[in-house]
Structures are given as structure tokens and as C-alpha cells.
Structure 1
Amino acid sequence: MNIHGQWLEDKISKNDAGQTIEDYLKTKWRIPKKMLHQFRMSKNVHINGEPLPWKNTLKEDDTVSLPFFETEPNEITPHNVEIEILFEDEHVLIVNKPIKIDTHPSSEHDQKTLLNAVAAYFQKTGLKTKPRHVHRLDRDTSGAILFTKHFVASSVFDQLLAERKINRTYIALVQGIIKKEEGIINEPIGRDRHHATRRRVSRTGQAAKTSYRVLKRNTVKNETLIELSLETGRTHQIRVHMSHIGHPLLGDTLYGGNRLKEQQQALHAIKLSFIHPFTHQLVSAVAPPNQQVFLPYSNLFSY
């Protein structure tokens, strides 16, 4: 696989030979129907340098040129700060988000977000596409976030997220001592009518399921270190669920947690894993905790 300007070039292997161009785009690249139609109408997929009918059969060593890296108008203002890269290939970039930075702008004047920082990295490395975040983390939550490098990857990874094929593992410090070794919180989450940004467990809310297990109990500090995984991705899900069972996150004052000196919430997305839809390899990106509150427990994070 090579990149030449806007083109990603893929040499047809023995396994891919014998497929029609259309089947190859569907199976290897998982390109959705709407995008397939756009490619077909624009005649922008080339085989050995020329657009061919999509019912043609591919042969071993044919070169397929895909317009994945077409120059896009990029309205994202670059923010030149260093980012910690956990994984990178032609299609995606996974970075370790620090606290006190938003994932993306909330207004046109907000230009110091992680998305702006990734836009600066794209500019520095010569990518003329715009970054897109597949998911997000709250401002005061740190950890692994996935960005895509081209519009096809964005569409495919959005689909993987909806299908729950991107696994996210979190660690958190919560108040109090959790007695059970592990548990599942299966409670729907909805908006709080009395607070614009707050969520709450509500019978009329959206289904939400959180699994947790205890990593360490600290009776001296009256806190418990836990690992969590989500089967759904509701806004503030971990924060709402842990508060609901009487163990709010340290620093999470919105949901009953005691304030920390660093004005943060003790929640970190420590691991992001998925089967890569294009290479079919397991990608497992581990984000070293970058919050001071987790340092006393650093020997427990052997992912």
C-alpha cells in the first residue's frame, strides 16, 4: 500500500484477485453504499491508471488507485502543541488526550482543542485532509482518542463504533470502598430537567450498561481504583452510573465527587482496541495515565 498525493495505491494480492472492482471495494474497504455511488459516478477509482467498469474482474498484481486523500477545505485552525501519539497508520491516528483540553471546538472562537492540535499535526506531516474524531472524551477526562485521516476511514469507523466493535477500557478512582469484586450497572440514562449539562438515571432514558471490576482498595484514603468497560456510549455514562451506586468519581463535583487540587475528574481511557477494518490486524493502543492522581497506582497498569 502506497500513498501518492490524493491516491492510496493498493496492489491486488492473490487473495483479492478474481473479485469484481465493486466487490473488492465492499469487502476489503467496507465502503458504504452512498460512498460507492459517489465513486462510481465520479469514475474516481482507477485500475492500472484508468477507470474501468466495476463489473471487471481484478487480477493479481493489478494496481488499484483510490482517491482517499483528496484535498479537502480545512476550516480547522491549527493549534501547535505537542500530541502524544499511541498508534498511527495511513488511515487512523490514536492520541493520548491530557486533561483540561476539549476534544473539539464548541464555538468558532474555540481554537485550542485536541482536534485543532491534530489539525496542526496533519499540516506538519503534509496531509491535506481534515481530521475527524470518531468518539470524544470530556474536558477533564484523559486518555485514548481515535481520529481518522480520510473521509472513507471516518465513515467506516463511525460504523464500527455504532456496531460496538471498538472496545474502550477506562480506569477511575471513586470515593468509598466498593465491596464487590466486580459488577454491572444496567440503568437507563436521560437528561436532568433541572440542570442543562447534567444527566441522571431515568426510567425514560436511553439504555446504558457499564461493567466494572476492582483493581485496588485504599482504605487509608477511602477510595477504590476500578477498571470499567462500556457496552453503550451515553453522555457522562461512567460518571452517572458510579454516582448512582454511591461511588462518584474523585473530582467529579457535578455528580457528587469531592474536588481535587488539579480540578479534574479521576477518569482515564487507558486502552482502545479493535480489529482494523482495512488491514484486519488487531490494534491495541494503551494510553499511559497522565493524571497525577493515578501515579500511586502505576504498578497496576500492565495492559
Structure 2
Amino acid sequence: MNHLCQMSNFTLTFIVHTPQLLREAIAAYGVSKRALTAIKFTGGKITVNGVEQNVRYPLQRGDEVTLVFPQETRSEGLVATYAPLTVLYEDDALLIINKPAHQNTIPSREHPTNSVANDVCGYFEQQGLHVTAHIVTRLDRDTSGIVCIAKHRHVHHLLSEMQKRGELTREYEALATGRVNAQCITAPIGRAKDSIIAREVCEDGQSARTDVTVVKYVNLDGAIVSHVKLALYTGRTHQIRVHLAHIGHPLLGDTLYGGDRRRINRQALHCSRLMFIHPLTKVPLSITSALPVDMAGVTSQKNRLPN
């Protein structure tokens, strides 16, 4: 089994190990029906041993199948901007960056440009890559840390399916008010009845689980603050923020859920680790990002309290 990935003309190549129809082999490699339709009708190609074939072609052991995906076009509404990126990992299929706080992951009505997606499109353009930004892992505007971007819709599809199966693991670090105890929070989350933005713990919400471990406690101007690590087993909107507020320990800076901004000018939440198996190479990846300056200043050793 072998994968080749060239983003200027994205191809997926593999060797067949058992006799089967071509469409069965393609499906086994996770190619979506939408992507297959694009290959067949918008400029792609399917070959077996270098000869173009249709999906009903009977494959034999040892045949080499190559899928050539059509070139992608960027949405007209997604304008390229050219701010520098902090790249944590990059190959022909993936780009993983460190997002600063106060930046949208994707454009919004209030912030139509200068999002991560806009900057990534500019980055690709400067590299001569004819691809768009496929955001795999999003972060709230004021949350900092790791964001994963796929360089092709097929790779995005593979990673999205992995997310559904719980095969992408994200770890976060946060600063919460008060002395938080290590625990597992299992409380369903739904939309708050009086807000179009906020979420809340409610009986008819979606199931949600957050595991909390304590890194250290710090003394900040006479108040105890907990530096915690969090592992998510579900990916509900605002999950960490809602769960910590629910147990009485809102994040520093998170005014939406009961925190205040006397010590930090945004919710003190950072995605610090992303772990998954590369969807093409099958190599395990573990990407890390250190705490940004605003959070690191709060957790400095001089403020540390005994656990």
C-alpha cells in the first residue's frame, strides 16, 4: 500500500492487494462520493497501471490505481491576506499553525478578513499552491493555540471522519478562577435560552465530557487561580468554558460565562497539543504549542502555591 501526494496536481496512488472492483478499492481509501463525482466530471482522472478506466473495472492483485483530483478554486468571498503564520508542522497534505488570541479562525460578518483562513489562503498563494484553506480544527476568536488545516478536500474529508470517530485528540490548558479539583465533568450542553451565542448545561442538551487535571495553583493578587489541563471526549461549542463555569470556576477573562478581565484581556484558554495518525502516511503526529505570554505570565513560578 502506498500513498503519493502532490498538491499542485493532487494525486492518490495505491497498490491493490485483492481482486475487487475499482469503485470498491476507491471507497476503501476513504474517497467520498462527492470527491469521486468531482473526479469523474470536473477534470480529474482515474487510471489503472497508467490507463484510464471507469469505476466498474475489475482490479487484480498488484494493479496500481491513481486518482487525479481536479484543481480546487477558492470561494470568491474568501479573500487572501498576507499576515505571517506560526507554522508548527507542514507537508504536502497538512498545515498546522499556532493561532494567536483575538483572531477568528474563519471570516465572520464582524471580521470578514484577516482570519486564519484568509491568512492561510495568502500563504498558499505565495507558495504557488492552487488550493484553498480547509479548516479541520477551529478555535474561538479569543482562544489561542493549534489549528489544523487540510490542503485538499479529500484530506479534509479523511480528517473529519477521524474526528467523528474520536481519533483526533486535542488537549487544552486554561486558567480558572478558584481552586479547581481534578475531575471528570459530564454534563449535557445546549443553547442558552436567552442568547444566540452562549451555551449552558441543560437536561435536553448534547452529551459532553471534559477531563480536568491540575497543573498548579497560583496566587494572583491574593486570589487563587488554577492552571489546568483539559481533555475533551466531545466537541460541543464552548464546552470547556461552559463546563468550568458550571462547576463554579469560570475562566479568567471569560466575561460571557462569569469571568472578568482584570488580569487577562480574553478567555484564558489555549489549545496546547494535537495528536492523530496522519491520514495518508499513517505516521503518528503529536504537535505541541507552549502557553502564550499573557497566560504564562499568570502561571509564573513566583506566583505558585502548593497543590
TM over 0.5: yes
Partner of residue 145, structure 1: 147
Q: Quick one: structure 1 residues 223 and 210, their matched pair in 2 at CA, closer, same or farther if it must change by over 3 Å?
A: same
**Residue 263 of structure 1, CA deviation:** 1.4
Matches within 5 A, 1:83-232: 83-107=85-109, 110-178=112-180, 180=181, 182-219=182-219, 221-232=223-234
AA in 2 matched with 1:45: I
Q: How many angstroms does 1:100 deviate by?
A: 0.6
Q: Specify the code of the residue in structure 1 equivalent to 2:242.
A: V
Separation in structure 2 between the aligned mates of residue 228 and residue 19 of structure 1, nearest angstrom? 46
User: 1:240 maps to what in 2?
Assistant: 242
User: Given the superposition, is the C-alpha separation of residues 66 and 104 from structure 1 closer, same or farther in structure 2, using an over 3 Å criterion?
Assistant: same
1:127-165 alpha-carbon deviations (Å, 9 max, x no partner):
112111123111110011111111111222121112221
- One-letter identity of the residue aligned with 1:186: T
**Alpha-carbon separation, structure 2, partners of 1:242 and 1:162:** 24
Give the Cα–Cα distance (whole angstroms) in 2 for the partners of residues 287 and 155 of structure 1: 25
Structure 1 length-normalised TM: 0.87
Gaps of 5+ in 1: none
Per-residue displacement from partner, 1:174-231 (whole Å, max 9, x unpaired)?
11112x3x21111111111222311111111111111111111124541111100111
Amino acid at match of 1:3: Q
Quick one: which amino acid aligns to residue 206 of structure 1?
A: Q
Using the TM superposition, name which of 129-138 and 66-75 deviates more: 66-75
Distance 1:4 1:138 in 2: 29
CA distance in 2, matches of 1:37, 1:163: 25
Residue in structure 2 matched with residue 70 of structure 1 by the alignment: 71
CA contact (8 A) 2:46 2:54 kept: no
Query: Hey, what's the Cα distance between the residues in 2 that align with 1:163 and 1:235?
Result: 18
Taking the aligned partners of 1:34 and 1:2, their CA distance within structure 2 comes to 19
Gap change, CA 1:296 and 1:249, over 3 Å in 2: closer
Pick aligned residue for 1:282 from 276, 281, 284: 284
Q: Which amino acid aligns with 1:6?
A: N
Distance of 1:195 and 1:284 partners within structure 2: 37
AA matched with 1:35: A
What is the root-mean-square deviation in Å for CA atoms of aligned residues? Answer: 2.6
Letter in 2 for 1:188: P
The residue that corresponds to 2:304 in the other structure is: none
Identity %: 33
Name the SS for the 1:26 alignment partner. helix
Pair 1:6 & 2:6 matched: no
How far 1:25 sits from its partner (Å)? 2.4
Secondary structure at the aligned position of 1:222 is classed as strand
Cα distance in 2 for partners of 1:194, 1:109 equals 24
Q: Which runs of 5+ in 2 are unaligned?
A: 302-307
